[in-house]
Chain A
Amino acid sequence: MDNNIQLNNVNRETIVAPITVVLTSPVIVVRISGLEAIKTFNLIQDRKGAQIAHIEPNKVYFAKFISLYDRFYDDVLVTYFKAPYSYTGEDVVEISFHGNPMLISSALRSFYDLGFRDARNGEFTMRAFLNGKVSLNEAEAIQEFISSDSDTSLRYAYDQMNGSVGVLFDSFKSELLNCKAILEADIDFAEDTDISSIYNRLLKIVNPLLVEIDELLLSYKSLRSISNDVNLVIVGKPNVGKSSLLNKLLDSNRAIVSDIAGTTRDFISERFLISGIPVTVTDTAGIRESTDEIESIGISKSLEVIGKADIILILFDVNDGDISILNDKSLDTLINSTASNKVIKVGNKSDLEHSIDASKFDIVISSKTGEGINNLLLTIKDMILNSRDIKPNSIGIVSERHAMLLEIVKSSLQSVVKNIDNNFPEDMIIFDLNESIRKIEDITGENYTEDVLSIIFNKFCIGK
């Protein structure tokens, strides 16, 4: 009669999550909280490569972080807060990594290997409340502040980009649900169907799916291993809005923006991810035909940067009647001689009155209102994928978490195939299918409930 026993939540799992947004930035901080947080020290070495014997609380250690997963390492800052003197009131370790999302992916995978799981939104704060570290009002204020429904900021970075992962995984899920419906209809309605024909139908769905997942994982791996960033250069006449476009792309305000032509006196380079691919964007100086020494240096540097660019984004002011590229002949010549599949012509300031026909541009945007920015990102992405010969599907996975979940999906489906091969019974096949569906749902963040029965009722004429 232990149905209604109430347990205290003492044995909470150890959780981990980046607490800064995972975009290319100087630093990304990852927090680990829970009873086993100090297991993290197994991944930390001092600069000479020796295990640090004793990590004291509340001190900052400059150390090497070594990923269990793929042996990558990073120079990091580690701080240990001993319970109850921490944000959550539990043992907490915080690590500041260099701001490369790829490193973070690998690090997170190491943490999962240690048995930690992703922190849900606001979970650190919830634990802080449960452990009496913050008042309810504080906890609620913080919770409400975190309004996104996605699990981690990794997901956030992705969701910003486009809905492609959703579409892709939804299609996987619906294929798997179809498989499940075939089996469930057979089990729940005991129609006298020939088992080998059912298994053949399953294999016809599962085998191609496995190939697709495999390709996805492979190209994800090759994606991770791209060592050189894609070079994207923004060029354009002064005050066409290059800096504000750059900012829009980075979704931050790191470059200085003003209305006075020529404020940007040097190149601004920033890195960010497009569908998991690191991109370095360079904003060329606002260039004028000028005797200004700095600007002249700018032009020769511009020539160099443009020469190395994978993608050139030429920005125009849609209100400016003159649509020559720049005011510099050498630059114009260089750009004109560049293959057209590397160039995107972008008309900016669509929020103001247009004086120019929009069809002269590949894309019209407003870096002020954000209009057209998503389209621009999609175009850039397509160009990158074309230039690197990457399967378009691999855009689906942007985080290590996705990749890991997908690997479980893969192994469950492999087990489906193996069990069918052995002619093992349907209950086993369903078990593995369920597992794979659950993992897909972990990626997409939604649950099926009545889906399968609905599929059965719609597709099969059921009931004697």
Chain B
Amino acid sequence: MLNKDVYDVIVIGAGHAGCEAALASARRGFSTMLITISLDKIAYMSCNPAIGGLAKGSLVKDLDALGGEMGRNIDATFIQFQLLNQSKGVAARSSRAQADKYKYSERMKKTLFSTDNLSIKQAIVSDILVNDRGVYGIKTLSDEEYCAKKIIITTGTFLNGKIFVGDKSYEGGRMNDIASTHLVSSLNSLGFEPIRLKTGTPARVDKRSIDFNKVEAYKKESIRRGFSFETDILDDDKIDCFITYTSEKTHKVVRDNTYRSLYFNNKDKALGPRYCPSMEDKVSKFPDRERHLIVLEEEGIDSNEIYINGFSSSLPIDAQLTAYRTIIGLERAEFIRPAYAIEYIAYQPTILKKSYETKLIDGLYFAGQINGTSGYEEAAVQGFMAAINATLSIEGKEPFILKRDESYIGVMTDDLTTKGVDEPYRIFSSRAEYRMRLREDNAEVRLLNYGKYFGLISDKRYRRYLEDCTVVSNTIERLRNTKIRITDKNIVDIISKYNIMLGESITAYDFLKRPKASYSILEEMSLVDTLSSQLKERIWIEIFYEGYIKKEEQEIAKSNKLEFIRIPQDIDYGKVSGLRLEQVEKLKKISPENLGQALRISGMTHNAISMLEIAIEKFKKA
């Protein structure tokens, strides 16, 4: 049954990647269809009910500056907020918010339904329709056909998902949700080679069965600032999280029952994330640890489900429960849902261009877990980038590719397309070279112009941003010309109150380079205008970190030279002389877009890059 309408973009899957993709496409004015297996699980948090976290917080802020939805959505539905690493330096800070996962999902659904150009369907996609010019549509299990210029697949863990609990294993995209199996055959027939990955999730425990007197509330004083730059004031926290620990008893139960886990003992098991080990992994890898940290996190205000952070497992349910009940405070724990492991199909992201379009089929884009990543934030930004590039391509424009020095999004995109994955990929601060620049606080400075260009930033917001920039630069200029005189008694009193030593009069600018100095102290001295806490911080960062920021800028300028030398996509690496065979193989597989990316492929040398540069020149002259 062929539907006559031709959509610009069809997005398959309504998880975190799918929602951002559909919204970006529709908001840019392109007719868009979003197809999902279950309308009741839109932007659902299958695992940890939280947004942000280390480096992930930065992804969300960057997405917000580009015009994505995730930041606004969490700001409206969070129940607890934290700024992690507050004391570890501005380049290490990350926002994290505990979500009410039902409200989060509900708000996203509402947003989707109130967006123009966007139609939403519940169906199971069985086939990707392709002709010699690339992709042209999709077919559902019930034989409906829809045509589109571009297709974005964001199927998460649903592709041939297989759930493991103890000695049992069954098909499923998520506990109690059906897996998508037909689509895999369709992709196989198009020539895509699947890889298998694994992830896991802990049990959810009934709140009423936990003894909260025995556990410790986990709450920190924190600078409170929304993920979205449009959020003026963040609500107060609605809940606490709690900390407890496993014990030797827990570890013994886990050790004694590990033999009963089908997944753990499978010699051919798919690779799970090293950064998110199951309790079986923790116990076997770190036998000397006396205890492991467990955090109790609420899943929603109106729910009794408590997420037991730190205890994912594929043990049989009876063993899980015995083990959970050895944890302090959980002695009488009742499961609402058990922990489980899930294996699913993904595709090596080296099959992607940096635009997230597959190299194999024109017009077909992959985003999210299907690319071997993990995490809502990683998925969301990929969905967004895929949609931007799909729509730019319809407009006949060049793809939008963020560089490693522009955003953690650029770092992730480059890592994925250059190196591929051998475990579910998560963003880390340590993956980025230029962390002084990739801070959370300056996301707008780095990216808002792009968002504006895409038409995803309101005029009001953009004007506010420009005004902020003017205030910051004017203020910094003024600070250079403002003297702090140690002859002034009032000033001496204030600086000694803050334990700051000044041997001589200095400018306010130099003052801010001192440890313990801050713009607020300058306000107290009545030397400067009063500013919002955001702007105060921005000014302080620019001054306090000036030397480091400048040094990094130089690094970036130096390393960017190679990034600007593009490699023609039809170059024949086999004919480039001086390359070793394995280098040729890798270059063919990855087909890097520029020399900088080529150099990051493992096994590449400066010599090989020189040879490539020669070949590129020859190619251009030919």
Contacts and interface: CB of A to CB of B under 8 A. Distances in A.
A53 interface: no
A450 to B, nearest CB: 9
A4 interface: yes
A376 interface: no
A188 interface: yes
A422 B88 CA distance: 13
Interface string B300-327: 0000000001100000000000000000
A461 B614 contact: no
A449 B430 CA distance: 10
Contact of B275 (A180, A422, A427, A463): A463
A130 interface: yes
Nearest to B422: A450
Contacts of B282: 461, 463
A15 to B, nearest CB: 12
A427 to B, nearest CB: 3
Interface in B528-563: 545, 548, 551-552, 561
Given A186-B88, A464-B295, A140 B565 contact: no
A126 B614 contact: yes
B611 interface: yes
A457 B614 contact: no
B356 to A, nearest CB: 14
Contacts of A430: 91-92, 435
Contact of A427 (B88, B431, B551, B610): B88
Given A427-B92, A431-B436, A4 B548 contact: no
Given A188-B429, A427-B436, A464-B294, A130 B515 contact: no
A5 interface: yes
B286 A461 contact: yes
A195 B92 CA distance: 14
Interface string B409-433: 0000000000100000000111101
Given A461-B289, A463-B275, A464-B293, A425 B89 contact: yes
Nearest to A140: B577
Interface in A1-50: 1, 3-7, 9
Contacts of A190: 53-54, 84-85, 94
B573 to A, nearest CB: 14
Interface string B23-53: 0000000000000000000000000000001
Interface string A121-142: 1110010011000001001100
A219 B436 CA distance: 36
B92 A425 contact: yes
B564 A187 contact: no
B151 to A, nearest CB: 24
Contacts of B53: 190
A387 interface: no
B381 to A, nearest CB: 16
Contacts of A462: 274-275, 277
A304 interface: no
B403 interface: yes
A132 to B, nearest CB: 9
Interface string B388-418: 0000000000111111000000000000000
Contacts of B90: 425, 427
A186 B605 CA distance: 32
A430 B276 CA distance: 24
A9 B562 CA distance: 10
A144 interface: yes
A1 B277 contact: no
A1 B453 contact: yes
Contacts of A449: 419, 600, 602
B617 interface: yes
B218 to A, nearest CB: 9
B285 interface: yes
A424 interface: yes
B460 interface: no
B48 to A, nearest CB: 9
B450 interface: yes
Interface in A417-431: 422-428, 430-431
Most buried by B among A9, A422, A425: A425
Contact of B274 (A129, A188, A457, A464): A457
Most buried by B among A149, A180, A190, A464: A464
A100 interface: no
Most buried by A among B89, B433, B566: B89
B292 interface: yes
Contact of A144 (B561, B564, B578): B578
B387 interface: no
Contacts of A453: 274, 428, 430-431
Given A423-B515, A464-B293, A139 B92 contact: no
Q: Which of the four size classes fits the interface of chain B?
A: 35 or more
A159 interface: no
Interface in B240-281: 273-277
Most buried by B among A136, A144, A187, A449: A187
B556 to A, nearest CB: 13
A424 B602 contact: no
B613 A126 contact: yes
B88 to A, nearest CB: 4
Nearest to A143: B578
Interface in B591-622: 600, 602, 605-607, 610-611, 613-614, 617-618
A428 B89 contact: yes
Contacts of B55: 188
A119 B295 CA distance: 55
Most buried by A among B94, B398, B606: B606
A120 interface: yes
Nearest to B397: A1
B618 A4 contact: no
Given A130-B614, A136-B614, A184-B429, A4 B401 contact: yes
Contact of B577 (A123, A144, A180): A144
A452 interface: yes
B54 A187 contact: yes
B483 to A, nearest CB: 24
A180 B276 CA distance: 21
B87 interface: yes
Interface string B430-445: 1101011000000000
A72 interface: no
A271 B431 CA distance: 48
A69 to B, nearest CB: 22
A130 B577 CA distance: 16
A443 to B, nearest CB: 14
A7 B564 contact: yes
A189 B435 CA distance: 16
B537 to A, nearest CB: 13
B430 A426 contact: no
Interface of B: 53-55, 84-85, 87-92, 94, 273-277, 282, 285-286, 289, 292-295, 309-310, 398-403, 419, 428-431, 433, 435-436, 450, 453, 515, 545, 548, 551-552, 561, 564-566, 577-578, 600, 602, 605-607, 610-611, 613-614, 617-618
28 contacts: A3-B402, A4-B398, A6-B565, A7-B565, A9-B561, A120-B607, A121-B610, A123-B610, A126-B610, A126-B614, A136-B618, A143-B607, A143-B611, A149-B605, A149-B607, A184-B430, A187-B85, A188-B430, A189-B54, A195-B88, A425-B92, A427-B92, A428-B89, A430-B91, A435-B551, A461-B286, A463-B282, A464-B293
Interface of A: 1, 3-7, 9, 120-123, 126, 129-130, 136, 139-140, 143-144, 149, 180, 184, 186-190, 195, 422-428, 430-431, 434-435, 449, 452-453, 456-457, 461-464
